[in-house]
Each structure stands twice: as C-alpha cells, then as structure tokens.
Structure 1
Amino acid sequence: MTSFADITTIGVGGHIARFIEPTSRVGVIEAVEEADGRGVPLCVVGGGSNMLVSDAPFDGVVVRDARRAITVPDEAAPVEGGDRTVHVNAEAGCNWDDFVAFTVGLGLEGVEGLSGIPGTVGASVVQNIGAYGQEVASGVESVEVWDRLEKRTAELSAADLAFGYRTSALKTSMYAAPAVPSDRFFPTPRYVVLSVTFALRHSPTGVVGYGQLAKALGVGVGERMATGAIRDAVLRVRAAKGMLEDAARYLNPAMAGTKRDDQMRAALRAQYGDAERAATRPDRDRHSCGSFFMNPVLTDHEAARLPQDAPRFDAVLPDGTPGVKTSAAWLIDHAGFHKGFRTAPDAAAGLSTLHTLALTNRGGASADDVAALARTVRDGVQAAFGVRLLPEPVVVGLAL
C-alpha cells in the first residue's frame, strides 16, 4: 500500500486508501469526478515536494497525473519579423526540472532560473514557484483546468490566475484565509491543472537577475549569460544550500517513472556518484519540503519594528498596497534557531545543517515531529520579532 511517506520529499505521512495514476486527460478528470461524486477526501499530488501530511491513514483518493508529455506547437527556431516567442505545452504530471532542462536544451529563455525546483508543471502554477529572479508566472500564457465546481474544463489566462508571491487563484481556492483550509476545496484546489502553455523566448542567453546567482557566475546583476550556464549555476547554488531534492527518492518503486531516466541518472551522479551510494548514504539535508516558511510581507509600520539590519525588499501586500518583504531565514536564524537546530539532541526532525528555511527528516521522523519543530520555530520568531511566519507547504491533517 502506498503512503505519503513514499511519495513526498520529506518522507512522512500515512497510508493512502486509494492511489490512482491516470495516464490520460479523461482519466484524470474521471478520477477527480469519482472522488468528488462519492464525497471522499481528494488529494491531487505532483512531486510531493510541498506537502506535510499527517501520519494517520488518508481515507480517501490520491491522484497523481502520470501524463508527462511536452510539445512545441510553434516552430522552435526564430521566425522572420523579429518575434522570438515560442509556445511550449506541458502536461500537468511532467516533472518540473525535466521541463526546464527541455526548454534550455531547445534554446529557450524564461525558466532557466527555476532549475532544480522539485515538483511538477501542474504544481508550479498553483504555487507560482520562484527563485533567483524568476517566477513561473512570467512565462505562463494559459492553463487548462478541470473546474470541480462547474464540472467542466476551462482555459485560464495568466490574468485569470491572479499570480502573487507564492500564490495564485488556484491556491487561494483551497483556503478561507492564509493557512486556513477551505471547508470545500482542500487539500485540492477547485481548479485541477491538466496542462500549462508557456510563452518563452528563443534566445541562447538569459538575464542573471539575482545577486547570489550573479556572484556564482562572476558577473553583474542584469547581465546576460548562456541559459545553460545559468541553469548549471542555479543547480550548484541550490545544492550548496541543500535545496535540491534527494535524487535517491526516484529509486523508490512508488516514484518510478516520474522523472526522465537521463535526468535522474545525472542527478544521482551529481549528488552521490552512483546509485549504490545513494541507497546506503542518504543526504538528510535534502529530506524536506523545501522552504517551509514564506518570506513575510509586512506593512511599513510592521517593518519599522524589525531590527535595522533585517533584510528589506519592496513588495506588494495582498490588498495591492505597497509593503516590505523580509527574509524568513534571517528571522529564524536571529531568533536563535541556527542551522541544524533540533528541539532535543536526539530529535528525528531538525533544521537543515545548510539552510534554516528547510525543516528536515533526519531519519525516522514522524509528521508530528516535523509539526512540533515548525511550531517551535514559528512561535520563537513571533516572540522575538512580532512576526508570525506562515507555512509554504500544504499541511494536511495537522494543526500548526
């Protein structure tokens, strides 16, 4: 029997009553419709990288889209007249980094800075993933969805999706308020992603849009570099911070076929050297949900209460007014929760030894262990700075 521990990057979570992997568009819709029609809990998962699920059995249906095709409706080469736009369509179950590697290999610019982010194409637009100066929102032209309320397919434009910092109209349909699950659509949005069409740019170079990345490449922010070089640098920087998923997870039978073999082998070589070493010496810093807390966006008044040396960036509040974004990692560290922190010396969950934003399963952790660590860190930051951190993962069956 498949469990959430088998299919999530943090490796915790209870057994699943029914696990379905549809191989067709109709199959995905039918699986969702059947669960909704029966009134049982439904969880549509991608790569399992942004989830923390209770250890209790999940008495419902988990759907993982097994469709992973990428197609290019346009000519891949630049057309006459100067329009360098190339449309690329990917089915929702496509591994996100497989998609990035495909577009870079095709000579396209637009998502190279998002290399190495775990998950799927479908999940990418729900979360509006972002890193190193790029967000998925900037490349999305439209998303085909199944509307669970209207019971029909729909084509949503980028404007319809209302993208924001780590959010979208898809994600907000799951919540009554930030981090407060909706009574009707949780843990699966009202709109289930079927495929995504991206509008990328035919170019051998991309913009280096982030200071840390520019430093790794030895160039200035705003300069252009080969997209392949940007991708390689992003992967190196993410690896140094433990923010690449553990490639060994794809040796688990429950993950078979979810990532292209060549990309999986390349990741295994980079992380471990060979599959045997991966199976016997797991890298616990990679057993996480990625960044567990979102960077807070504060009002000017709230930001003024922070220490003078706290990071500050221009941002937009949920109501559309100007705000100030600060660093969750900085707050966590300066509240006394340093890299490697555990609530007890023998605790099975702890902060990554490389990055304070990652809560990790150090081996044998339960979901309750991770939740207890999350609460300790959140409450400590609030006590120190008056800022309440919100979780980035979808938290199922647990109260944080």
Structure 2
Amino acid sequence: MSRGHPPRCGPNRTARRTPPPKPSGASRTLEPVQERHHAPLAPLTTFRLGGPAARLITAVTDAEVIAAVREADEGGTPLLLIGGGSNLVIGDKGFDGTALVIATKGFELTGSRLELAAGEVWTDAVARTVEAGLAGIECLAGIPGSAGATPIQNVGAYGQEVSATITEVIAYDRRTRETVTVGNADCGFSYRHSRFKAEPERYVVLRVVFELEDADGLSAPIKYAETARALGVEPGDRVPLTAARETVLKLRAGKGMVLDPEDHDTWSAGSFFTNPILTDEQFTAFHARVRTQLGDTAEPPAYPAGEGHTKTSAAWLIDKAGFTKGYGTGPARISTKHTLALTNRGEATTEDLLTLAREVVAGVRETFGITLVNEPVTVGVSL
C-alpha cells in the first residue's frame, strides 16, 4: 500500500534553506492565555475523543510555532502537532507532553499563486479561490482541517489531489533546526502519502504554496465519474467553478463528510481507511476470493494505480464483508451515510472506536484477505 512507499528523495537532497519568518511581533513570549495545563484535547478533534494534554500551547505566528517546537525538542518533551484535528485519534489517557495548536493565519494570492499559512481553515481557503475564479482545488471543498495538513496527507477527493497544484512547502526541519523550502518534486507525493508523512517527527509545515489555473471562471477538467454524473457532464468537461464546488459539497454532505455539530455522522475523521492498492498478483488472488465469497459474476471495483498496480475500494470491501451503514450497537458505529466513516454517536471513548475499527479490519481480512490501513493518525494508541 502507498503508506509503505518511501519518499522519492533523500532527506536533504533538494530542500533549500529559507530565511526565518519575519517577527511581526512573533518574538514576544507566549501570552499566558495561550498556554494551558491538563487541557482537554477532545474538543480540538472532529471525533471529539481523547484525553487531556499535559500542556497545550496555541501558536499564532510561524515564529511562535518554531519557538514552541524548539523548546520541546531541547527539553526532550514529546510533541503533538494539532491543526484542524480532523485526522487525529487520540487515546483516552491523553498525551503526556506538549500539544501545539498551529493557529497561524495567512492567505496571500498573487495572480494564480496562492500561499497559505498552515493554520488556515482549508475549506474556507478553497471557497476564496473559487470566488477569485481560480481552478485546481475546487473539488476539495468541504474537507475539514487546516492547510498545513494537506501536503502531509496529500489530501485528495473527487478526482483532485493537492499534489497537482502544490509548488512548494515551507517547513521547519527539526533535525537541522532550519526553515526549509521543499519543491513539489521532492515532496515524495503518492496516494495519501508524502515525505512529511514518512518522517512525521522531522518536519513541521509552516506554509504551503499552490499554483492554480485561471480558466475564465471554469473548473479544472472533471475527473471523477460521480461528480460528472451529478453535474450532468462527461468526464473531462469543465464547468463553472461555483457549480463544481457546490456539487462536491452536496455529495460530501450526503455522505456525512461535511462537519455539522448536530449530525453525529460527521463526528468522524472522514474516511477512516485508505483504499487498498494491490499488485497485479495480489489483485488476481483478491478477485478469485471475491468470486468465491460473492459468486462467479461478482466484480470488485478496480482503478488503475500505476504500472502493475490496481486500487480497489475500502468502502466496498467493508460493505461486502457485512459492515453496512449504521453497523454497531454501541456508542461508536459506522456512519449511517457512508461505510468508510467510523463515528462517535456522542458518548464514545477512543477505545470504543478502536474496538469497532479492529472488528472491521478483522472482518475484511477474513472475507477478502486484505488488511485495511487506517488513514487518521493515532496518538498513544494503535489498531
């Protein structure tokens, strides 16, 4: 699977040094209100799960982020970075270290060049690019979280991935203690993976730079079949940017993938498992197993994933293994809108969630011989 792919570059090959960020008042010490002890982390995650942090700091400038990271590193203190909290599963015991909330702001649009601070709310940034008439990330509307998380996970949906528009990532390198700029070719992007994910203890993303497209108010070519059908066009067609964004938002909302505090189907991390990528040999064995389990005419989803590889659908595997929408009787259940989302129905613990996730993983493995891999980052726990 793609999580096992190494980054396409050596650790220092082409990342270049970047001048430290201008102070802009950032040299001041952190205000007391920005630091808390034994602070609850659950409200900072979309799951609304997890125990407290020994210490919680909120940084609002790049310099504050770097100062907090350096302090933790110099003191040998465990460090947890939090952006939008949409991709975190934190253990019930919490985090015995410093949790750093990256709340930096910055939206700079120069022509078709967009630079976002890591703490910018992603879905708001997408809306602003659509308003500006620029294409390239409109189908990533409604994805919760912060801009700084997008290159780490190589966020993608509905036929778009950020790797197609990111030109460079500015990050703090904890190993060299320098701010570096990493060009697109050296980010090691692959399916839901990157250089930054491969070395999670090394890089702290500060800013992300995108090159978008001015297509006279039209979207990038629509690639995803479901989006094309909803828009009434053919794959490859362009549509008005606002239509593309609004259609994606409706599709996501129908699957419980747009945050709504009143809807427990959105108390999740979105897709909990990545879509498996199989070698030709693995897919052949999987296909035979599908026929054995579901009948001689059964056909699993199959999408090209590079030479010698095929991607199949985690949602399909979960459903066909018997874990249908709404599955579960406890406080953690599969979403009533989408089988790929595990949800907190309001009173769940992290252990409740993990128990459900392990049941799903075991069931899919037993039925189809494929081991699903969780997409969210786990803190103090594992499947």
Q: TM-score range by the shorter chain?
A: 0.7 to 0.9
Q: Secondary structure at the match of 2:81?
A: strand
Q: Does 1:244 align with 2:258?
A: yes
Tell me which residue corresponds to 1:177: none
Tell me which residue corresponds to 2:22: none
Q: Does 1:389 align with 2:351?
A: no
Aligned AA for 1:314? P
Aligned AA for 2:301? P
Tell me which residue corresponds to 2:167: 141
Offset at 1:399?
2.5
Aligned AA for 1:205? L
Tell me which residue corresponds to 2:347: 364
Tell me which residue corresponds to 1:26: 63
Distance (Å, rounded) in 1 between the aligned partners of 2:324 and 2:70? 46
Structure 1 unaligned blocks of 5 or more: 77-85, 175-184, 249-281
1:197-208 to structure 2, matched below 5 A, reads 197-203=209-215, 204-206=217-219, 207-208=221-222
Equivalent residue in structure 2 for 1:104, among 124, 130, 149:
130
Q: Does 1:227 align with 2:241?
A: yes
Distance (Å, rounded) in 2 between the aligned partners of 1:364 and 1:173? 34
Distance (Å, rounded) in 1 between the aligned partners of 2:188 and 2:86? 23
Offset at 1:2?
3.1
- Please give the TM-score of this superposition, normalised by the length of structure 1: 0.82
Distance (Å, rounded) in 2 between the aligned partners of 1:25 and 1:338? 44
Cα deviation 1:80-103 (Å, max 9, x = unaligned): xxxxxx111010000100110111
Distance (Å, rounded) in 2 between the aligned partners of 1:233 and 1:399? 35
Aligned AA for 2:113? H
Distance (Å, rounded) in 1 between the aligned partners of 2:370 and 2:234? 33
Offset at 1:340?
0.5
Offset at 1:4?
2.1
Distance (Å, rounded) in 2 between the aligned partners of 1:129 and 1:92? 14
Cα deviation 1:126-179 (Å, max 9, x = unaligned): 0000011100000101010000011101000001101000000000113xxxxx
Cα deviation 1:305-351 (Å, max 9, x = unaligned): 222410011113xxxx5201000000000001100111xx3x10000
Offset at 1:38?
1.0
Q: Does 1:42 align with 2:56?
A: no
Aligned AA for 1:301? E
1:1-400 to structure 2, matched below 5 A, reads 2-72=39-109, 74=110, 76=111, 86-174=112-200, 185=201, 190-203=202-215, 204-206=217-219, 207-246=221-260, 248=261, 282-305=262-285, 306=287, 307=290, 308-316=298-306, 322-342=308-328, 345=329, 347-400=330-383
Aligned AA for 1:66? A
Distance (Å, rounded) in 2 between the aligned partners of 1:364 and 1:237? 27
Identity %: 45
- The runs of at least 4 aligned residues of structure 1 exceeding 3 Å deviation read none
Q: Secondary structure at the match of 2:185?
A: coil
Q: Secondary structure at the match of 1:291?
A: coil
Q: Secondary structure at the match of 2:310?
A: strand
Segment of structure 1 superposing worse, 50-59 or 1-10: 1-10
Tell me which residue corresponds to 2:29: none
Matched-pair contact (CA < 8 Å) for 2:83–2:103: no
Aligned AA for 2:144? P
Tell me which residue corresponds to 2:5: none
Offset at 1:297?
0.3
Matched-pair contact (CA < 8 Å) for 2:41–2:94: no
Structure 2 unaligned blocks of 5 or more: 1-37, 291-297
Q: Secondary structure at the match of 1:399?
A: coil
Offset at 1:397?
1.0
Cα deviation 1:290-312 (Å, max 9, x = unaligned): 10000000011111122241001
Q: Secondary structure at the match of 2:43?
A: helix
Distance (Å, rounded) in 2 between the aligned partners of 1:399 and 1:194? 27
Offset at 1:115?
0.4
Q: Secondary structure at the match of 1:242?
A: coil
Aligned AA for 2:218? T
Offset at 1:37?
1.0
Q: Secondary structure at the match of 1:224?
A: coil
Distance (Å, rounded) in 1 between the aligned partners of 2:62 and 2:154? 23
Aligned AA for 1:333? D
Offset at 1:214?
0.9
Aligned residues: 334
Q: Secondary structure at the match of 1:209?
A: coil
Aligned AA for 1:378? V
